[in-house]
Each structure stands twice: as structure tokens, then as C-alpha cells.
Amino acid sequence: GKPTAGYGDHYTRQATSRPEAMDAFWMPFSANRQFKAEPRLLTGASGMFYRSVDGREILDATGGLWCCNAGHARPRIVDAVQQQIATLDFAPTFQMGHPLPFTLAERLVAIAPDHLNHVFFTNSGSESVDTALKIALAYHRARGEGHRTRLIGREKGYHGVGFGGISVGGLPNNRKFFGSLLPGVDHLRHTLDLERNAFSRGLPQHGAELAEDLERLVLLHDASTIAAVIVEPVAGSAGVVLPPVGYLQRLREICDKHGILLIFDEVITGFGRIGKAFAAERFGVMPDMITTAKGLTNGCVPMGAVFVSDGIHDAFMRGPDNMIELFHGYTYSGHPLACAAALATLDTYAEEGLFERAIELESYWADAMQALQGLPNVIDTRNLGLIGAIELASRPGAPGARAYDVFTRCFHREDLLIRVTGDVIALSPPLILDREHIDRIFRTLAHVIAETA
């Protein structure tokens, strides 16, 4: 169906009739002045499409922001949220509760890897990451290994914007303006290798040995100081960096050898994007914790969740039973609206077989990605499930400018929403798309990229 007019229409007119009124909203991760000079405003959404403020239907090739895996405004999810807000709008979950997060957690652990049987609720990916890092530190302390305080991330990693997340993260721009960050953090080398792996179809063949970099850090710091390693199985924000075949298995082995916890940040890969509920399952590598958000509620109510292993959880459950086991939580942990949205989202994923659909379409998607290889500006394509990246050659002296051009032309002229990060076009469409949508996305991209030669 077509996106229809909504509650916000009155406010839409207010915001757009006076451009100076846009100054008050300090936009996140945006060039505010550039945007406000040429705004791109969305006022409606349905299925595979957004509606722009000027009434155009925009094909969504980014699933919102990697989060609307079931497409937009799905009636079942809409109804669930509407009913919930009219029934129980909020209830505390500190020493109190309501049934929904218990039900939701049970549903979630049923689709999670075997030993991840406990869920801590947050409101975002950033909060999930900080929660997992804190659980890792407190876990070692609970077991009398409080000397394990060091956290290991990876170059180019993105783990949200909390102080924990930017400390273990490895994207320079997200770190360098904010002081010295958490002490005792180190980073593994990244795995992007265009020389050996350009235009891989699926996982790159070369680079499993880069996992040995963890042994370097163990040698440098001693295993007894290291609490946890956190990596994105597929790094999204760095421009979709896929793990070399065997790399994650090797990381797991090295962590096991040294008593180090392994955390997978699956904020992007969780909930079907690469064809399974979690990348851990797709890759057959079991982490000790998984951080999630985004697709958990199909993006429609903010929510995150940390999946925690029995071993970690049980280490906290040993003291007197009137003792708070973990001094951590958010006012909105397990919020009723988010729980209702998540339950309806899980139902939708299951009933429509959307994780399986990502597998069904994977090879059609891969063919479409690989067909861009011939374009002179394209230096790499990367794909897995329904995620994709097209890396463009930088214009001399203007990193990112070419990809930004492609993005604005696609939006303003071609009615196509893509995402760019640096010189990379990142694609993560809703999993409900069909072959015609894929054809349109790549036909448009081929011609717009060619124009920017």
C-alpha cells in the first residue's frame, strides 16, 4: 500500500514552511548546515517505500537505518503498539515488573544460539554494547578474576556512541574529538583487504590469519588482564566488512585458550539480515554474549537486547537471594511498547519466513552486486544475505564526495534511498523486497554511478 497522511502532517507544515525553524534540531551524525540548505524529509512509510515531504514514493534500500527488516508500518506491529499504549503505557522493571519482557525474553532465547539463554533489555545498540562490556567486567570480578579489566575491540569497528562503545570502536572520527576515552583498551587489526579480496562473492577467502593478532595483544598485555573481545561479525558502519573464512572460528579458539569472553555485536546482523536469526548461527561460531537492537522491533520503537550465556548469567546468581546481582539498568529496560513491537515483529518474521527469504534472494542479490564490477569507479563490491556494499574510487582530494553525489542524486532524482559512509554505498533493504526491487536498485545505481565518472 501507499504511505498515507499521518498525525505529523500539521507539524510537517510547521517545520517546512519556515526554513529557519529547522535550526533548533541539532541532527545526529549529519552535516547540519548542508542538510538544512537542501533538506531530505520523509513524512510517511509503508512496505518497501517512504513518502517524501513533496509526495514522492522513495524505494527504501537501507531498511531505514539497517533496522526495518520487515518493511514499514506493518499492520500487525502497528496494532500491537497501538493496543499496548492504550493498555499499559509504562511500568517500572526495577524490583517491579509486567509480563511482556518475560514473554519476549523467552521468545528471543528460543531463536538464539543454544547457550545464550538470558536477555538484558536496553533501548539502543549503544546501550547494548555498554551493557555487555559492563557485564563482562563484573563477571570476571564475580569469579575472583577482577584483574581482567582490559577490553579489546578492532580497527574500523563501530559499537555505538557511548564511552564504552567509542573506546572499543575503531573509527577515528568517532573517537578523536572526545578525549582519552576508557583506559585499558586495545584494538585488533581490521580485516579489509582489497588487494587480496576485492569483489569477493560472499565471505572473502583471505585473511583468517588476522585473528592471530589477538595472540599479539595477549603477549603484550598478558591474558590475565583481558576481560573481553568485541567484534561485529559483519562490520556495517565501516562500509560492510565481511569476516574472512575461518577468521571468527580462530578468534573463538584464541579467546577460549586464554579465558577471554567473546562478544558479537550483532546490532546490524541480528534478526535475519544475513539469512539466520544471528550471524553466530550463520557462521557457526558461538560468542559468550550478543548485542542487538534495530531489527528487534523492526525499528519502530527503540529497543536493544543483550543475549548472555548461561555461564556468565549463573556466575551472578550465587550470592544471597535478596541481593541485587547487577547494579545496572535503564528506566525503559523492557518498556511495554517496545516489548509489544518486538513480539509482533518476531511473529511477522516467523510467519512470513523473512530470514529464509534473505537466503532465497542471496544469490540474485549477489549477481546484481557483481554486475557493477565493470563500472570504472567501482573498486569493490561486498555482499552476504541481503547486505551489500559498493566501494567507489575516491575523487582526488575529496574523500566521500563521489558516494555522497550518488546518494543525493538517487534521493532527489531517482526516488531511491541508499546510505553512504565514506566512499562506500551500503545497502540493507527490508527483507520483504522482491526481484523487481533489486533490479530497480541496481539499474539506478549503475547509471548514477556511471554519471559520476
Run of H or E residues at 397: none
Q: Which is nearer to ligand PMP, 139 or 158 (CB)?
A: 158
Torsion angles phi and psi, residue 62, rounded to 5: -125, 5
Contacting residue, 81, 268, 341, 344, with ligand PMP by CB under 6 A = 268
384 binds ligand PMP, rule: CB under 6 A: no
174 binds ligand PMP, rule: CB under 6 A: no
Contacting residue, 133, 223, 230, 293, with ligand PMP by CB under 6 A = 293
125 binds ligand PMP, rule: CB under 6 A: yes
Residue partners of 381: CB distance under 8 A and separation at least 6: 199, 369, 370, 372, 373, 388, 389, 390, 391
299 binds ligand PMP, rule: CB under 6 A: no
**Least Å distance between CB 351 and ligand PMP?**
26
84 binds ligand PMP, rule: CB under 6 A: no
Contacting residue, 73, 267, 280, 416, with ligand PMP by CB under 6 A = 267
Q: Which is nearer to ligand PMP, 263 or 441 (CB)?
A: 263
Q: Which is nearer to ligand PMP, 265 or 391 (CB)?
A: 265
Please identify the residue of the shown chain whose CB is closest to the bound ligand PMP: 125
Torsion angles phi and psi, residue 113, rounded to 5: -55, 150
Contacting residue, 236, 244, 275, 388, with ligand PMP by CB under 6 A = 236
The rounded distance, in Å, linking the Cα atoms of 23 and 307 is 39
Q: Which of 418, 417, 419, 405 is nearest to 448 (CA)?
A: 405
**Least Å distance between CB 236 and ligand PMP?**
5
Rg (alpha carbons) of the chain, rounded to whole number: 22
CA distances from 205 to 208, 240, 247, 278, 426 (A): 8, 16, 10, 21, 21
Q: Which is nearer to ligand PMP, 60 or 405 (CB)?
A: 60
160 binds ligand PMP, rule: CB under 6 A: yes
Stretch that binds ligand PMP, among 229-237, 338-346, 384-392, 399-407 (CB under 6 A): 229-237
130 binds ligand PMP, rule: CB under 6 A: no
**What is the Cα 231 distance to its own chain's centre?**
12
122 binds ligand PMP, rule: CB under 6 A: no
Run of H or E residues at 120: strand 118-122
159 binds ligand PMP, rule: CB under 6 A: yes
The one-character DSSP state at 376 is: T
Stretch that binds ligand PMP, among 48-56, 231-239, 246-254, 315-323 (CB under 6 A): 231-239
Q: Which is nearer to ligand PMP, 133 or 142 (CB)?
A: 133
**256 burial level (CB within 10 Å; 0-12, 13-18, 19+):** exposed
298 binds ligand PMP, rule: CB under 6 A: no
Run of H or E residues at 150: strand 150-154
Contacts with ligand PMP by CB under 6 A: the residue count is: 14
Which regions of 198-315 does DSSP assign to beta strands (E)?
A: 226-231, 261-265, 289-292, 304-308
Under a CB-based contact definition with an 8 Å cutoff, are residues 24 and 36 in contact? no
124 binds ligand PMP, rule: CB under 6 A: yes
Contacting residue, 130, 232, 380, 405, with ligand PMP by CB under 6 A = 232
237 binds ligand PMP, rule: CB under 6 A: yes
CA distances from 389 to 21, 56, 199, 210, 403 (A): 36, 26, 10, 22, 11
- Interface positions with ligand PMP (CB under 6 A): 124-126, 129, 158-160, 232, 236-237, 265, 267-268, 293
